[in-house]
């Protein structure tokens, strides 16, 4: 999630809204937070990172976004659980989770809020899986876009063996939500 992140699709939306230009406009994340949510029959797990980087490019063809974060930066407030997740996703060999997304022909308002649907691709543990992404872009403040996004993927779609507790594996769904604040690239 460092450099460019999964939250990128949202940032791209912000670019489209703020730029409103036919030539290419680039936006970068200035701050953000991304959380993954897993469910087990006995409890739910949320792990969050603020080490997210995203880049969005809006041009005449539409919006393109890339975001990434280091998998080791997600914190569930349980060091043992986090260490086990790093093993499960093979963080030593695949240290980043990345998201690339596109929304061809996107048209956004110059100000206000808009909801955008993107076609995304999540890469986790070196395996890519397609995902739909929903993002709400708030362009109420000039020169800044706040993007709230949501996507869902399956652990098994990335070749990840589902972690178990008391011989019961977590649900296959991995829900990812986040908020990014984007600004024009200087």
Q: Classify each residue of 38-70 as buried b or exposed e, where b means 16 or more C-beta atoms within 10 Å of its C-beta.
A: bebeeeebebbbebbbbbbbbbeebbbbbbbbb
Q: Which pair of tokens denotes residue 170?
A: 């977590």
User: Residue 178: inside a domain, yes or no?
Assistant: yes
Q: What is the pTM of this model?
A: 0.82
Q: What is the pLDDT of residues 80-128, one digit of tens each?
A: 889 989 999 999 999 999 999 999 988 667 788 989 999 999 999 999 9
Cβ atoms < 10 Å from Cβ of 29: 27
- In which domain, by residue range, is 123 found? 8-184
User: Residue 66: inside a domain, yes or no?
Assistant: yes
d(Cα 83, Cα 167) in Å, to the nearest integer?
A: 19
Check residue 7 and give its pLDDT. 40
d(Cα 103, Cα 99) in Å, to the nearest integer?
A: 13
Check residue 6 and give its pLDDT. 40
Q: What is the pLDDT of residues 127-180, one digit of tens each?
A: 999 999 999 999 899 889 999 999 999 999 999 988 777 888 888 999 999 999
Check residue 23 and give its pLDDT. 53
User: Residue 25: inside a domain, yes or no?
Assistant: yes
Better-predicted residue by pLDDT, 69 or 9: 69
User: Residue 3: inside a domain, yes or no?
Assistant: no
User: Residue 104: inside a domain, yes or no?
Assistant: yes
User: Residue 65: inside a domain, yes or no?
Assistant: yes
DSSP 3-state of 73: helix
**Tokens 């063809």, located at residue:** 61
d(Cα 133, Cα 116) in Å, to the nearest integer?
A: 8
Q: What is the pLDDT of residues 1-52, one digit of tens each?
A: 333 334 443 443 443 444 444 457 889 998 999 999 989 888 789 999 999 9
d(Cα 2, Cα 20) in Å, to the nearest integer?
A: 27
CATH number, domain containing residue 174: 2.40.128.110
Better-predicted residue by pLDDT, 1 or 183: 183
Check residue 110 and give its pLDDT. 78
User: Residue 2: inside a domain, yes or no?
Assistant: no
- Answer yes or no: are the C-beta atoms of 33 and 157 closer than 8 Å: no
Instruction: Provide the domain count of the chain.
Output: 1
User: Residue 1: inside a domain, yes or no?
Assistant: no
């Amino acid at each position: 999630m460092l450099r460019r992140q999964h939250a990128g699709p949202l940032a791209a939306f912000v670019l489209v809204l703020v730029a409103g230009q036919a030539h290419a406009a680039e936006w970068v994340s200035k701050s953000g937070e991304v959380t993954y949510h897993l469910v087990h029959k006995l409890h739910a797990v949320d792990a969050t990172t603020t080490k997210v980087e995203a880049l969005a490019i809006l041009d005449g063809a539409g919006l393109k976004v890339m975001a990434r974060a280091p998998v080791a930066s997600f914190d569930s407030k349980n060091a043992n659980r986090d260490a086990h997740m790093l093993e499960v996703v093979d963080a030593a060999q695949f240290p980043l989770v990345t998201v690339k997304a596109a929304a061809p022909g996107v048209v956004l308002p110059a100000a206000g809020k808009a909801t955008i649907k993107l076609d995304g691709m999540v890469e986790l543990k070196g395996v890519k899986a397609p995902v739909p992404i929903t993002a709400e872009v708030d362009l109420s403040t000039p020169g800044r876009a706040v993007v709230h996004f949501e996507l869902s993927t399956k652990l098994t779609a990335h070749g990840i063996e589902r972690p178990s507790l008391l011989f019961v594996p977590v649900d296959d769904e991995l829900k990812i939500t986040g908020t990014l604040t984007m600004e024009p690239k200087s």
